[in-house]
C-alpha cells in the first residue's frame, strides 16, 4: 500500500462545502484586505492559544522579522537561533540588521534547551528564537529564565500542547506559518504573530501595514505584510477541527513509537508536552539508503535539513567553528521524515514499519 509523506486532502474533504461557502462569503462582501474575516480569525486564534493578541501577516517568514523588529532588535544586536531548523528561522534575522548566533539542539527532542542557548548568549543578545521543531515543544519558560526575551517559532506546532500551555502563548512573542502543508494550513501563504503584550501587538500591527496606523501618517519603515480575507476565512473553517487533527497526529506518533521500536531512533517529546507532529522524523545511520528502500515500496520520506542553516553559503559568515554544534551535525546526517498527517491510520503505520523492517538496514 502506498503511503504518502503528506495527506492534506483527506482531512479537508468533509469541509469542502463549508470552505466554498466561506470563499463565497468573502466574494459577496467585497472586502479583501484587513476586513471582518481577518479580524474574526485573529480573535479566534488568540483565544484558542490563550495568547491575548494575534495579528495576521502575509507569511511565517515575515512574521519572524516583524516580531523581531517589534522586540526592538536592530543593528549591533545578536539573536540566538538553532541551526537545525528551516532556513526562515535564521533568514528573518539579517533584515533587522542583527546577527544570527547559532546554537545547538537536544539530539533526542530536536529543540533548543537552556544549556544550548546559554552557551550562545553574549552581552549583545537581544532575543532567542526557540523553534518548536516538527511540533515538539521547546522549554520556553526555562529559556526565558536566562533573562532574554524568547520568540517562539511555532510554525510547525499548531495544535501541540506543553506543560505551560500551547505554543504561541509561552514566550514574549510568537510566530506561525499557515503554509498549506502545516497543521493548520491556508490555501496559499499566510502567517500570524501572537503575544500577550498589548504594546508589542500594536507595534506588530503598525509594522505589518507600512509602519502606519491610518495610511496617512507613518511612524516607521514597515512592511506590506497582511493576511488576506480569503485565507482568513479558510482558516476559520478549519480552526474548530484543529484539536481533532492534532489528536490524530499525536496518536499516529504513539503508534509509530510502538511499531518502530528497535528499528530506528525515534523522536522524544519534551517533558509534559503532547506534540501534534507536523513531521515525524526518525534517525537512522543509513538514512539515505532507507529513503530509497521506502521509495521502492511507495512510501514517502525525505530529509529536510541535510545541510544545517549555519553551513548554507549565505550564513557561513556567522557560522561557529567546525564541530561546535555536534547534535546539529549528527541530526543533519541521520534524520529522515516518514509519513505523518491527521489522516494517518494504524494500517498505514504498520505498512511503514514493515517497509523499514524489510529494508534490513540494521
What pTM does this model have? 0.97
Q: What is the largest CA-CA distance in the chain?
A: 66
CB atoms within 10 A of CB 47: 12
Same domain? 250 vs 289? yes
Answer with the one of 224, 240, 256 that is the final residue of a domain.
240
Residue 280 maps to which CATH number? Answer: 3.90.1150.10
If you average pLDDT over residues 130-143, what whole number do you get? 98
Enclosing domain of residue 259: 242-359
Report the alpha-carbon distance of residue 161 to residue 124 in Å, rounded. 32
Assess whether 203 and 263 both reside in one domain.
no
Same-domain check for residues 236 and 264: no
Domain-located, residue 1: no
Q: Would 4 be classed as within a structural domain?
A: no
- Write out the three cell numbers for 105: 539542539
**What is the C-alpha to C-alpha distance for residues 101 and 123, in angstroms, rounded to an integer?**
12
pLDDT at 233 (0 to 100): 98
Q: What is the pLDDT of residue 321?
A: 96
Domain contains 257: yes
φ and ψ at residue 73, rounded to 5 degrees: -70, 135
What's the distance, CA 37 to chain centroid?
Answer: 23
Determine the pLDDT at residue 337: 98
Q: For residue 284, give every residue at least 6 positions away whose Cβ sits within 8 Å of its Cβ, in sequence order, or none.
A: 264, 265, 290, 334, 336, 361
Where residue 1 falls among pLDDT bands split at 50, 70, 90?
Answer: confident
Q: Mind listing the pLDDT tens digit for each residue in 73-107?
A: 999 999 999 999 999 999 999 999 999 999 999 99
Portion of the chain with pLDDT greater than 90, in percent: 98
Domain shared by 218 and 328, yes or no: no
HSE-up of residue 311 (Cα within 13 Å, Cβ side)? 14
pLDDT band, residue 135 (cuts 50/70/90): very high
Claim to verify: residue 212 and residue 258 sit in the same structural domain: no
How many other β-carbons are positioned within 10 Å of the β-carbon of residue 284? Answer: 20
CA–CA dist 169, 2 (Å, integer): 38
Provide φ and ψ at 336, rounded to 5°: -155, 125
How many domains does the chain divide into?
Answer: 2
- Enumerate the H helices of the chain as residue ranges: 9-12, 16-29, 36-49, 60-70, 88-91, 114-118, 140-144, 198-208, 229-238, 242-259, 287-296, 326-334, 346-359
Q: Which of 219, 240, 261 is the last residue before a domain boundary? A: 240
Band (pLDDT 50/70/90 cuts) for residue 362 is confident
Domain holding 131: CATH number?
3.40.640.10
Residue 218's pLDDT is: 95
Residues 6+ apart with CB under 8 A from 114: 139, 142, 143, 145, 146
Q: Determine contact, residues 228/208, Cβ cutoff 8 Å.
A: no
Which domain-ending residue is among 220, 240, 260?
240
pLDDT in tens, 212-230: 998 899 999 999 999 999 9
56 by DSSP, 3-state: which? strand
Contact 287, 305 (CB under 8 A): no
Please check whether residues 43 and 168 belong to one and the same domain.
yes
**121 with 139: CB under 8 angstroms?**
no
Q: What is the mean pLDDT of the chain?
A: 97
* HEC secondary structure over 297-313: CCECCECCCCCCHHHCH
CA gap 37, 174 in Å, rounded: 21
Q: Are 92 and 110 in contact (CB under 8 A)?
A: no
What's the rounded Cα separation, in Å, for the pair 283 and 103? 20
Amino acid at each position: 500500500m502506498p503511503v504518502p509523506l503528506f495527506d492534506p486532502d483527506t482531512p479537508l474533504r468533509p469541509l469542502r462545502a463549508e470552505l466554498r461557502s466561506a470563499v463565497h462569503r468573502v466574494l459577496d462582501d467585497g472586502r479583501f484586505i484587513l476586513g471582518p474575516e481577518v479580524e474574526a480569525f485573529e480573535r479566534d486564534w488568540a483565544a484558542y492559544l490563550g495568547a491575548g493578541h494575534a495579528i495576521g501577516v502575509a507569511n511565517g517568514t515575515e512574521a519572524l522579522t516583524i516580531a523581531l523588529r517589534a522586540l526592538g532588535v536592530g543593528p549591533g544586536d545578536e539573536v540566538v537561533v538553532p541551526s537545525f531548523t528551516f532556513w526562515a528561522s535564521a533568514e528573518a534575522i539579517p533584515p533587522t540588521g542583527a546577527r544570527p548566533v547559532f546554537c545547538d539542539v537536544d539530539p533526542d527532542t530536536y529543540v533548543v534547551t537552556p544549556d544550548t542557548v546559554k552557551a550562545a548568549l553574549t552581552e549583545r543578545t537581544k532575543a532567542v528564537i526557540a523553534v518548536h521543531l516538527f511540533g515538539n515543544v521547546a522549554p520556553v519558560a526555562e529559556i526565558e529564565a536566562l533573562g532574554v526575551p524568547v520568540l517562539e517559532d511555532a510554525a510547525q506546532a499548531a495544535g501541540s500542547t506543553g506543560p505551560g500551555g500551547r505554543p504561541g502563548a509561552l514566550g514574549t512573542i510568537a510566530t506561525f506559518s499557515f503554509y498549506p502543508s502545516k497543521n493548520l494550513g491556508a490555501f496559499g501563504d499566510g502567517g500570524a504573530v501572537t503575544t500577550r503584550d498589548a504594546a508589542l501587538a500594536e507595534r506588530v500591527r503598525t509594522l505589518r501595514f507600512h509602519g502606519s496606523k491610518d495610511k496617512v501618517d507613518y511612524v516607521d519603515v514597515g512592511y506590506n505584510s497582511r493576511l488576506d480575507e480569503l485565507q482568513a476565512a479558510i482558516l476559520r473553517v478549519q480552526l474548530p477541527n484543529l484539536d481533532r487533527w492534532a489528536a490524530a497526529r499525536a496518536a499516529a506518533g504513539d503508534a509509530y513509537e510502538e511499531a518502530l521500536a528497535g528499528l530506528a531512533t525515534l523522536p522524544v517529546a519534551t517533558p509534559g508536552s503532547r506534540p501534534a507532529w507536523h513531521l515525524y522524523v526518525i534517525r537512522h545511520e543509513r538514512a539515505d539508503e532507507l529513503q530509497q528502500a521506502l521509495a521502492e515500496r511507495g512510501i514517502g520520506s525525505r530529509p529536510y535539513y541535510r545541510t544545517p542553516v549555519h553551513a548554507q553559503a549565505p550564513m557561513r559568515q556567522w557560522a561557529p567553528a567546525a564541530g561546535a554544534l555536534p547534535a546539529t551535525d549528527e541530526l543533519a546526517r541521520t534524520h529522515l521524515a516518514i509519513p505523518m498527517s491527521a489522516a494517518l491510520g494504524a494500517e498505514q503505520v504498520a505498512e511503514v514499519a514493515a517497509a523499514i523492517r524489510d529494508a534490513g538496514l540494521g
